[in-house]
Chains A and B, each alone.
Chain A
Amino acid sequence: MSTSQLLGTDPGWIILVKGLIVFVFCVLCTLLAIWAERRVVARMQMRLGPNRVGKFGLLQSLADGVKLALKEDLIPKAADRIVFVIAPVISATTCFISFAVIPMTGRVSLFGHKTAMQLTDLPVGVLYVLAAASVGVYGIVLAGWSSGSTYPLLGGLRSSAQVISYEVAMGLSLVAVFIYAGSMSTSEIVAAQHHWWYAVVLFPSFVIYAISMVGETNRAPFDLAEAEGELVGGFHTEYSSLKFALFFLAEYVNIVGVSALATTLFLGGYHALPGLSFTENWLGGWFTMVWFVAKIAFFFFFFIWLRGTLPRMRYDQFMKFGWKVLIPFSLAWIMIVSTLRVMSQRGTSRAIIVAFTGGVVLLILLISTLFESSQKRAEKRDELGDVPPPSFPVPDLARFTNSELEQRNV
């Protein structure tokens, strides 16, 4: 019996309980994630991080949440009041609903009812996640627009442009997974990774997804929508109190969401690490949730590590990277993957497959060589002084001696 058939037998109250579990899971993950992020980043900067509220400061984010809720709720005079209130609600709800199709465990018994810890199993589950993420952009755009202020507007535009462009790359990176799994249903993709994780088989897709999920969630080093020095807080500059808390919650649930999707699509979902599958048989279905959480934690640590290491990118660099590198690269990769897939399905002889792979490698080498030599030529052109003189006045550098230039820090 497949997972979708299994879920079809769920009575209404089981669905309600599972919905509650998913919600609590997301909120708990957020609380712990904020705590973990602050502690780990602090360690990377040789600090301790929050360690006052509760054991090891574990209740810090809860205390912060209570503090946020008790703060004064301001709505700017220039704001569009209705949209201003709706925007954080859109953001916070859409990030939760994408969790409905994420399989968290294998077969489990919930109050004596045989089921799986997954709310529903759509045949187009992954597309549903992408759609939910796209609706989430509305929250950001509307928040930026309705604030009636410049910085939020710019921040909202930036982050929506960012989320939309990286969603293209993300969607393309998933196509290879669909081709290999032969399905868009999350549970079937997990089942299809029984032998090999797609992170291994489709490594380039995995890399593209990992990069674009950071861009998608507006996180460092792609957090230019919230660049403090330029835009104050970005789209949520004018928000305070619970509405701000909702955006905060949405950001972290989104991170957990993309990590969960990455786990499902590339790291074998809730299944144990290779060689440790005996734990699933011995400790029962619920234990698979531990593996699921562990894999999410791995991705989350990657998020924190990026934040601790890399400086923020410039907006144009970021867009250039998304449109000119990630998208063409993933398009080419999809072509290769689909060709190989069709070949293996039609039973093409091994020699042709090897020849095709060799041809692709040669083509990549050729393109990169051509690219490098064109770059060198461009460099040479620059060296020869082929640059036209600037149209604006510049100081006559030849007048100064070297030491004078050094003093002037030219």
Chain B
Amino acid sequence: MSEMNGKSEIEKKTSQGIEAAAAANKPLTAEEQATAGFFKQLLGFWVTFRTMFKKVNTVNYPEVKEPTADRFHGRHQLNRYDDGLEKCIGCELCAWACPADAILVEAGDNNEEERFSPGERYGKVYQINYLRCVFCGLCIEACPTRALTMTNEYELADDKRDKLIFEKEDLLAPLRLGMIPAPHPMYPGTTDTDYYRGAIKGPHPDQEVKK
């Protein structure tokens, strides 16, 4: 019984609320508009006057730089394994995924003298045309080895068209401490599968190329 009462009360309140909302939405009569409209317009003057003393939203950009959102789509980066070998295998999936046709990949064969990535092939030519790129991130989703990711860097303006076609050396991630620049052999006693599983945690002294 009490439950029933409670329900009906809620219903009553809801219907009241709806009525109130309907009343609020009801168009004003001409008289109400004439009186309320005049004062509301004066209120508008107060709003603009008050806004003058508010904090401005503008960021003084070149001097002040605000950090982007964590997952902001910026310039691309070609990553490396922890021993310095490149992750890109030249499969061209990124180029195929690209809706703007901004990526060009040409694969090359790895051999025992010159190895850039674990496995058979590596990205010999890798270009991203930032005049075409729309920063949609489909290339990142397509990449099977997480070789291609995006950084937060957004300052991609230049005064020449060809400066905005980024080559492989512009896109490659910097070498971190201990990494050996490719080309060099794989970690001794491992296969490419170990690389893909993330088993390689650093370089081995044998990997250094003797000159």
Please indicate the chain B residues that have their CB under 8 angstroms from the CB of A46 in the complex: 51, 54-58
Inter-chain contacts of B56 with A (CB < 8 A): 42-43, 46-48
A384: shortest Cβ distance to chain B, in Å?
A: 15
When C-beta atoms are compared, the residue in chain B nearest to A306 turns out to be B45
Interchain CB contact under 8 A, A305 and B30: no
List the B residue with the shortest CB-CB distance to A48.
B58
Question: Roughly how many angstroms separate A202 CA and B48 CA in the complex, as a whole number?
Answer: 28
CB contacts under 8 Å to B, within A23-78, are: 40, 42-48, 51
- The 8 Å CB contact of B52, one of A40, A51, A310, A379, is A40
Contact (A43, B52) CB under 8 Å given A48-B58, A309-B45, A310-B44: yes
Residues of chain B with a CB closer than 8 A to A372's CB: 31
Q: Is the CB of B51 within 8 A of A47?
A: no
B51 touches A44 (CB 8 A): yes
Asked if A47 and B48 sit within 8 Å, CB to CB, the answer is no
Cβ contacts under 8 Å, B31 to chain A = 372, 376
The size class of the interface chain B forms with chain A is 10 to 19
Contact at B44–A47, with CB atoms within 8 Å?
no
B154: CB under 8 A from chain A?
A: no
Q: Which residues of chain B (24-64) have a CB below 8 Å from chain A?
A: 29-31, 41, 44-45, 47-49, 51-52, 54-58, 60
Cβ < 8 Å to B, chain A residues 292-325: 305, 308-310
**Given A310-B44, A375-B30, are A305 and B49 neighbors across the interface (CB < 8 Å)?**
yes
Across the interface, do B54 and A305 meet the contact criterion of CB distance under 8 Å? no
Nearest CB of A to B37, in Å:
13
Q: Count residues on chain A whose CB falls below 8 Å from chain B CBs.
A: 17
Contacts A375-B30, A379-B30 given; indicate if A305 touches B48 (C-beta within 8 A): yes
A356 CA to B44 CA, complexed, in Å: 38
Bound CA span A47–B54, Å: 10
CB proximity of B134 to chain A, nearest CB, Å: 28
Which residues in B have their C-beta under 8 angstroms from that of A42? 56
Q: How far is the CB of B57 from chain A (nearest CB, A)?
A: 5
Chain B residues lying within 8 Å of A305, measured Cβ to Cβ, are 45, 48-49
A40 cross-chain contacts in B, Cβ below 8 A: 52
A45 in contact with B51 (CB, 8 Å): yes
- Knowing A305-B45, A309-B44, A309-B45, say if A47 contacts B52 (CB, 8 Å): no
* B57 x A47 contact (CB < 8 A): yes
Q: Are B57 and A44 in contact (CB under 8 A)?
A: no
Min C-beta distance of A297 to chain B, whole Å: 15
- Chain B neighbourhood of A51, CB < 8 A: 60
Bound complex: CA A355 to CA B51 (Å) = 47
Q: Give Cα A9 to B56, complex, Å.
A: 54
Determine which of B29, B30, B45, B51 lies in contact with A43 in the assembled complex, contact meaning CB atoms within 8 Å: B51
**Contact string against B for A residues 371-409, beta-carbon threshold 8 Å, 1 for contact and 0 otherwise:** 010011001000000000000000000000000000000
CB-CB contacts of B3-40 with A at 8 A, as 1s and 0s? 00000000000000000000000000111000000000
Contact B58 A44 (CB under 8 A): no
Which B residues are in CB contact (< 8 Å) with A310? 41, 44
Q: A375-B30, A379-B30 are in contact. Are A44 and B52 (CB under 8 A)?
A: yes
Shortest CB distance A321–B (Å): 14
Which residues of A sit under 8 angstroms from B51, Cβ to Cβ? 43-46
Residues of A within 8 A of B44 (CB): 309-310
The minimal Cβ–Cβ distance linking A43 to chain B, given in whole angstroms, is 4
Q: Which of A330-373 contact B (CB under 8 A)?
A: 372
The residues of A that contact B54 with a CB separation of less than 8 Å are 46
User: Which of chain B's residues has its CB closest to A307's CB?
Assistant: B48
Q: For the complex, what is the distance from the CA of A309 to the CA of B50, rounded to whole Å?
A: 11
CA distance A375 to B31 in the complex (A): 9
Nearest CB of chain A from residue B64's CB, rounded to whole Å? 11
Q: Which residues of A contact B45 (CB under 8 A)?
A: 305, 309
Known: A305-B48, A309-B44. 18 other contacts (CB 8 A): A42-B56, A43-B51, A43-B56, A44-B49, A45-B51, A46-B51, A46-B57, A46-B58, A47-B56, A47-B57, A48-B58, A48-B60, A51-B60, A305-B45, A305-B49, A308-B48, A310-B41, A379-B29
Please give the residue numbers on chain A whose beta carbons come within 8 Å of chain B beta carbons, in ascending order.
40, 42-48, 51, 305, 308-310, 372, 375-376, 379
What is the interface of chain B, defined by CB distance below 8 A to chain A? 29-31, 41, 44-45, 47-49, 51-52, 54-58, 60
A-B residue pairs, 5 tightest by C-beta: A48-B58, A43-B52, A44-B48, A308-B48, A309-B48
Interchain Cβ contacts under 8 Å between A and B, 24 examples: A42-B56, A43-B56, A44-B49, A44-B51, A45-B51, A46-B54, A46-B55, A46-B56, A46-B57, A47-B56, A47-B57, A48-B56, A305-B45, A305-B48, A305-B49, A309-B44, A309-B47, A309-B48, A310-B41, A310-B44, A372-B31, A375-B30, A376-B31, A379-B30
